[in-house]
Amino acid sequence: MPPKKGLSQEEKLKLLLDWFQSSHSFYTLKEIESKGAKICKIPSMQVKDLIANLVDEGLVESEKCGIVNLYWSFKYSKQKQLENRAGTLKSEIELKKIEIENLKKEIIEAEKLRSVEDMPNRSEELARLEDFNKLIVELTSQVASKKVFDNLKHDIKAIEFYHDSIEMIVDHYSRKCNLPVKMLKQELNIPLELDDPPPIPEN
């Protein structure tokens, strides 16, 4: 008869975590090595490393109390933390959407005033265009950092649209002012090719 296969690292971690969450208690490392190891049928000498792994992953909480460390894990505490974080991120995303919509309106207004005949203050409008470009770059970076939500794909598409709008405005100025596109972009410190925003991975 072949020897009985031992528990894998993942199985040991799950057994320990389930034991923590079913007991609703606080334990010292020695208590875990005696009680937890016995119930989970894990060698006590392996418990310390397994606990460190669970703490590093945020699945088990640890707090120093006097001269000892206490360990615990309540089933719904991690879920509550994730829900709170998700709520914060959603609020930040909504604010970024509002900023992007306001920027879109600014670009539309700039397009209405972009002809040379209707723009006596050409240099001021070009400066505004440069500010738009800087703001779009900043928003692109901020929005791209919120990777956990699939609906950010819509925001990324909006940023791509703004990039296209900048190209259209620069091209229009180039034709109206009889300036090469390259020269106009250099004057405004706009890259010759705007970087695409990073894609958001699928969950």
Per residue in 26-85, pLDDT (tens digit) is: 888 888 888 888 788 888 788 888 888 888 887 888 888 888 888 888 776 666 666 677
Highest mean pLDDT among 89-103, 104-118, 165-179: 89-103
Q: In this predicted model, what pLDDT tens digit does every residue of 121-171 receive, in sequence order? A: 667 767 777 777 777 777 776 666 655 455 555 666 666 666 666 777 767
Q: Given this model, what pLDDT does residue 47 score?
A: 84
Phi-psi map region of 96: left, alpha, beta (phi>0 left; psi -120 to 50 alpha)? alpha
Average pLDDT, the chain: 73
Q: Is the pLDDT of residue 182 over 80?
A: no
State the helix-helix crossing angle for 152-176 and 77-112, rounded to 10 degrees: 20
Question: What is the rounded distance in angstroms from the CA atom of residue 179 to the CA atom of residue 181?
Answer: 6
Query: Is residue 25 scored above 50 in pLDDT?
Result: yes
Return the bridge partners of 64, or none: 69
Does 8 or 190 have the greater pLDDT score?
Answer: 8
